[in-house]
């Protein structure tokens, strides 16, 4: 990846994607992020077929991962949208957009991930997420004028 980034040049940011079915150690997250001077790392949290939705963020959103992110000054990024060719509810540990919108439980999705340390939430329901996060004091908009 470093060779590709060197060819691409400045202005493009690489952000690693790390999934909890392959990585369970915050030290690896820190190593991958430092290697590319990433501003964020996408954390994929799976819910297995027949498994209940997760009760905590798992190793990718545990206290060690949050400490590593704070120390490195980078964002923890979670996706809450459904994935094509996968059964609904398998991404985001079962705490995705379907739970927020179809079940009308945005606090169990957006609030849950904000409490787990996610500072970026990628969603197919941006208006619902922004409205709920703002109304509940979780959203910190970026100043786009600078």
Alpha helix (H) residue ranges in the chain: 2-8, 26-35, 63-72, 97-101, 110-115, 126-135
pLDDT band at residue 146 under the 50/70/90 scheme: low
Contact 110, 129 (CB under 8 A): yes
Burial code (b: 16+ CB inside 10 Å, e: under 16) for 59-70 equals bbbbeebbebbe
Mean pLDDT value across residues 117-135: 94
State the chain's mean pLDDT as an integer.
87
Mean pLDDT value across residues 19-25: 89
The predicted structure's pLDDT at residue 144: 66
The predicted structure's pLDDT at residue 24: 86
The predicted structure's pLDDT at residue 138: 93
Query: Does residue 106 surpass a pLDDT of 90?
Result: yes
The predicted structure's pLDDT at residue 4: 82
Mean pLDDT value across residues 98-114: 94
Residue 22, CB-side half-sphere exposure with 13 Å CA sphere: 7
What are the structural domains of the chain? 14-135 (3.20.20.190)
């Amino acid at each position: 990846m470093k060779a590709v980034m060197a060819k691409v040049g400045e202005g493009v940011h690489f952000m690693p994607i790390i999934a909890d079915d392959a990585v369970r150690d915050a030290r690896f997250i820190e190593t991958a992020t430092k290697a590319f001077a990433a501003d964020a790392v996408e954390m994929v949290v799976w819910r297995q077929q027949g498994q209940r939705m997760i009760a905590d963020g798992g190793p990718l959103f545990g206290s060690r991962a949050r400490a590593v992110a704070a120390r490195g000054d980078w964002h923890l990024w979670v996706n809450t949208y459904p994935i094509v060719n996968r059964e609904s509810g398998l991404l985001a540990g079962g705490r995705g957009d379907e739970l927020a919108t179809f079940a009308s439980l945005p606090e169990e999705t957006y609030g849950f991930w904000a409490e787990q340390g996610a500072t970026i939430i990628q969603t197919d329901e941006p208006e619902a997420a922004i409205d709920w996060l703002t109304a509940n004091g979780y959203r910190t908009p970026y100043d786009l004028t600078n």
